[in-house]
Amino acid sequence: MIFVSAFDSYAVQAFETSAVDYLVKPVEFERLASALDRARERRAAKDAGRRAEELAAVLEALKRESDEREGPRYEKEFWIRDRGRFLRVPVADVERIEAERDYVRLYWEGRTLLHRETMSHLEEKLDPNVMLRVHRSAFVNWKRLKAVRRDANGRLMAVLDSGDEVAVSRAYAQRVMSEMKSRA
């Protein structure tokens, strides 16, 4: 809003109402042009701010919709600190994961790496189509699972490509067997 008046006594009140300018008669053309430019800039800024808010709301709605369609997002890789550097370890390349107190031990490319994470937290973050929980303290990679057999004591064991065996607990045996049947 631009005020034009013959009296300068109302200028303070005009600026209290967020006036762009207060012009006293007779109005100078340059001053009027300058006031009009400022008014246009202020309006454009308000419109741009409004448009930015609308776009942000649209983007947020699209992101929510996309997340709902995609389902849960699972970790694709671990970043593991190892000897002063960080290693990128793709989840799909990990043979198995075993609990070790407040850490987990990842078996990857013939070596083991410690990572500070709990098994329950990992279970939420790992895709069950990639890593199968077979025990309270172990996950195995589906691609590396060669067989499931019973040992001499009757315990169920997951046999991996490497020849290593991981115990399948009674609590997870039903789930492991049904998953294997559904994939057969």
Tally helices (H) and strands (E) across the chain.
4, 12
- For 15-38, the pLDDT digits (tens) are 677 788 878 888 888 988 998 998
pLDDT mean over 67-95: 87
Domain boundaries, the chain: 2-70, 77-183
List residues bridging with 2 in a β-sheet: 21
Between the alpha carbon of residue 13 and those of residues 17, 21, 116, the distances in Å are 7, 11, 63
Chain centre to alpha carbon of residue 164: 34
- For 145-161, the pLDDT digits (tens) are 999 999 999 999 999 99
Among residues 174, 90, 102, 110, which one has the least CA distance to residue 137? 102
What predicted TM-score, i.e. pTM, was given to this entire model?
0.60
Classified by CATH at the fold level, domain 77-183 comes out as OB fold (Dihydrolipoamide Acetyltransferase, E2P) (2.40.50)
Residue 93's pLDDT is what? 96
89: pLDDT strictly greater than 70: yes
